[in-house]
Structure 1
Amino acid sequence: MARAAVLHAVGDTELDLRDDVTTIDPGPTQVKIKIKATGVCHSDLSTMTGVLPSVPPTVVGHEGAGVVTEVGDQVTAVAPGDHVVVNWTPNCGTCGECRRGQPYLCITFITQAFTEPAFRLGDGTPAFGMAGAGTWAEELVMPWQAAIKIDEDVPFEYAALLGCGIPTGVGAAFHTADIRPGDKVAVVGAGGVGLSVIQGAKIAGAATIVAVDPNEAKHPIAKQFGATHTATLDSLEDTKNLLTAGQGFDTVFEVVGKSAAITTAWNATRRGGDVIVVGAGAADDNWSQSAFGLLFDGKSLKASLYGECDLRRDIPVFVDLWRAGKLDLDGLISRRIRFEDLNDAIRALAAGEVIRQVVLFD
């Protein structure tokens, strides 16, 4: 039996924190992971509210790291005792997206996760894992492709962030955007992923980085992570005029997950610039632009799912940047909490009081 945070119905504001949850047995190509640390990400909240789909009862959580405890008889990439980061979008390697070099678009295992429960509650009820993961549990079973081996000197609380927040944000700056040294960029949304975008933009060589957030309490924090300027929604136009002579920024990242934020990013971008959509929005939250403006402004709207990352390729890069002092992981962690604190963590996240909270199971 293990502890796990279970969502019984979409719209619930609190989770059922249980200690009687078990996993399925690992199949020939699966691994069991004992979770040591897991992040509290806005996507977890979006699953609870229904912005992101789920099949309740669902074990929430998708950003985590831990130790492999069991492997199927066909698994050779990892072994019991290995430290791993959980990849919530493991790539199958054989679908069209994988063959085209876009593993972050693979939905093979996520699709299976909506029909194949990976947990069982104490009364025998089958339960699913959020996005095929469910890292707000002490143990989980996933395809071996979801276990990304990591050096043992990387603390689990840092490794957990490498499973979502860092690749989504830093990856958007590295892979989706075409940032050139000296560029002027803006980031709409200064939460955990937004701060990771800011770090990525700084490392990529952007000279001007504006953090845009209506919550001014986040502005000094954004500057700690590399923002050169900050703005509220009301002051963004004046900031744009001051820093770009009214032309707009070369690249603007939307890291909120709202159509209104995409519009804000679009309007702040110069003609011929790029708008990078990083935030996960609702299926019924539509965005529109005139056909005339879409053509004659010459702007590009690009989606950045999971920062277009291949975690086997990119996690070693992120670790090297952390070791070199160029990527701040510790500063992203507002609170280290226990499993019993998860419902309070959800409240704090919804209230915008924190950047990242990390649950430590040991």
Structure 2
Amino acid sequence: MPMITRAAVCRVPGEPLTLERLVLRDPLPDEVLVEIRATGLCHSDLLQIDGSNAPFPFPVVPGHEGAGVVVACGSAVTSVAPGDHVVPLSIPECGECAACCGGKTNLCEHFYASMGRAESPFSLDGETIAAYASLGTFANHVVVKEMNVARIPREVPFDLACTVGCCVATGVGAVLYTAQVETGSVVVVLGLGGVGLNVVQGARMVGASRIIGVDTNPERAEAAHRFGATDFIDPRGLEGDLVSVICEMTGGGADYSFECVGNTRLGGQALEMVHPGGGVAVIVGMPPQGENLPIPPESLFLGRSLMGSFLGNVKTRSQLPLLLQDYLEGRLDLASLVSHRLPLPRINDGFELMRRGESLRTVVTFPAPD
């Protein structure tokens, strides 16, 4: 029997989200019904909402960084059960395809098959309401494939657990799994939002010798140092250009750089600020649609490498829960990451905090059922 659930819906690009009651269909045999208890606000959601990078049609329920409780399972589901605490996943892990069985990528073949084409379980008055990333965690309930949920430890609060669904996995994973940063490396992190700060703490976790955080918001300096940065640079106050300053600080270039803003010009600079003969630049931030990286070929000919990272190359069902184990054992700081907690009716205030650069991570919480 279809249920009614409350959701924040973006009907028109650039307009505030509206709270609506949507019809949510029953789970199919290979699907799971999850009650969302908390969901983080991500810059990727903002790009969809503003229309600058909108892979899903409008109207849409944004949100892809959630945590909650399994309510019901389809008849073919075996790996989770009602009552389990889970994180819904924007990238599935089927465990059977070449990508899932290999060690090169986390991009399960089912991810490509469902991108922008999966049938949404949400509707209103006969109109389909799209689910961002096939999730739509700005709704109190979601229906997702079994391969799109990861069971997580019950000890982790939902408002912290949800962050591993995107910003923590993306940032820490880019260090651990994409770049595979070595102990003693010199790392530059461009952009110190939720993702960038997790790149910083990922670099700290692997024992980087120097971690240089770069951001135009000077208020990010304290957070950067708390997460493990050894240096902070506000590029607006530099006498020379950023690349020259980084190369001088590092004696010819960093070992690794991570672009976490989604700025294509900065992505080109990320490559220039790593040293020739082995320096690695990683593009983590999502730029607006249609923009291209300005990459001089000679930078690559000199032995630098440029890599892309999607959700930190983390295999979502098998590796993502390990990040929460890192939290439980004190290696990963999630509590300091969540700077604001808001109820669903104030979700637009959360995006205004993001636009003004006043939040690290804002989490929207749903009340537990009576």
Same fold by TM-score greater than 0.5: yes
Deviates more, 1:38-47 or 1:283-292: 283-292
The code of the aligned residue for 2:312 comes to G
> Aligned-pair distance for 1:263?
1.6
Contact 1:5–1:15 (8 Å) recurs in 2:
yes
Q: How well do the aligned residues superpose, as a CA RMSD in angstroms?
A: 1.7
Contact 1:93–1:103 (8 Å) recurs in 2:
no
Mapped partners of 2:28, 2:243: distance in 1? 55
Mapped partners of 2:69, 2:32: distance in 1? 10
The code of the aligned residue for 2:285 comes to G
Mapped partners of 1:97, 1:242: distance in 2? 40
3-state DSSP of counterpart to 2:255: strand
CA gap of 1:113–1:251, structure 2 versus 1, over 3 A, is: closer
Contact 2:61–2:132 (8 Å) recurs in 1:
yes
Equivalent residue number for residue 304 of structure 2 = 299
Whether 1:8 and 2:11 are equivalent positions in the alignment is yes
The code of the aligned residue for 2:230 comes to T
Contact 1:24–1:118 (8 Å) recurs in 2:
no
CA gap of 1:116–1:203, structure 2 versus 1, over 3 A, is: closer
Give 1:205's match in structure 2, choosing from 188, 207, 212: 207
Alignment of 1:1-362 (within 5 A): 1-9=4-12, 11-18=13-20, 20-50=21-51, 51-102=53-104, 104-106=106-108, 108-109=110-111, 111-112=113-114, 114-234=116-236, 235=238, 236-237=242-243, 239-245=245-251, 247-271=252-276, 272-295=278-301, 297-362=302-367
CA gap of 1:269–1:335, structure 2 versus 1, over 3 A, is: same
3-state DSSP of counterpart to 2:341: strand
3-state DSSP of counterpart to 1:321: helix
Deviates more, 1:178-187 or 1:229-238: 229-238
Structure 2 alignment gaps of length 5 or more:
none
Contact 1:92–1:109 (8 Å) recurs in 2:
no
Deviations 1:208-264 (A, max 9, x none): 00001111111121111110001122433464255312x010000011112111022
3-state DSSP of counterpart to 2:40: strand
Deviations 1:141-166 (A, max 9, x none): 00001111111111111110111111
Sequence identity of aligned pairs in percent? 37
> Aligned-pair distance for 1:114?
2.8
> Aligned-pair distance for 1:273?
0.1
CA gap of 1:183–1:352, structure 2 versus 1, over 3 A, is: same
The code of the aligned residue for 2:287 comes to G
> Aligned-pair distance for 1:319?
1.9
The code of the aligned residue for 1:4 comes to A
CA gap of 1:121–1:178, structure 2 versus 1, over 3 A, is: closer
> Aligned-pair distance for 1:91?
2.7
3-state DSSP of counterpart to 1:145: helix
CA gap of 1:70–1:197, structure 2 versus 1, over 3 A, is: same
CA gap of 1:288–1:238, structure 2 versus 1, over 3 A, is: closer
> Aligned-pair distance for 1:115?
3.4
3-state DSSP of counterpart to 1:269: coil
Contact 1:202–1:226 (8 Å) recurs in 2:
yes
CA gap of 1:215–1:107, structure 2 versus 1, over 3 A, is: farther
Mapped partners of 1:287, 1:38: distance in 2? 31
Deviates more, 1:89-98 or 1:350-359: 89-98
CA gap of 1:49–1:202, structure 2 versus 1, over 3 A, is: same
The code of the aligned residue for 2:160 comes to Y
Mapped partners of 1:12, 1:240: distance in 2? 37
The code of the aligned residue for 1:58 comes to V
Contact 1:110–1:132 (8 Å) recurs in 2:
no
> Aligned-pair distance for 1:22?
2.1
The code of the aligned residue for 2:253 comes to G
The code of the aligned residue for 1:287 comes to L
CA gap of 1:6–1:353, structure 2 versus 1, over 3 A, is: same
Aligned length: 358
The code of the aligned residue for 2:357 comes to G
> Aligned-pair distance for 1:101?
4.0
Mapped partners of 2:122, 2:133: distance in 1? 16
3-state DSSP of counterpart to 1:337: strand
The code of the aligned residue for 1:288 comes to P
Mapped partners of 2:89, 2:327: distance in 1? 19
Contact 1:278–1:305 (8 Å) recurs in 2:
yes
The code of the aligned residue for 1:63 comes to E
The code of the aligned residue for 1:283 comes to Q
3-state DSSP of counterpart to 1:349: helix
The code of the aligned residue for 2:366 comes to F
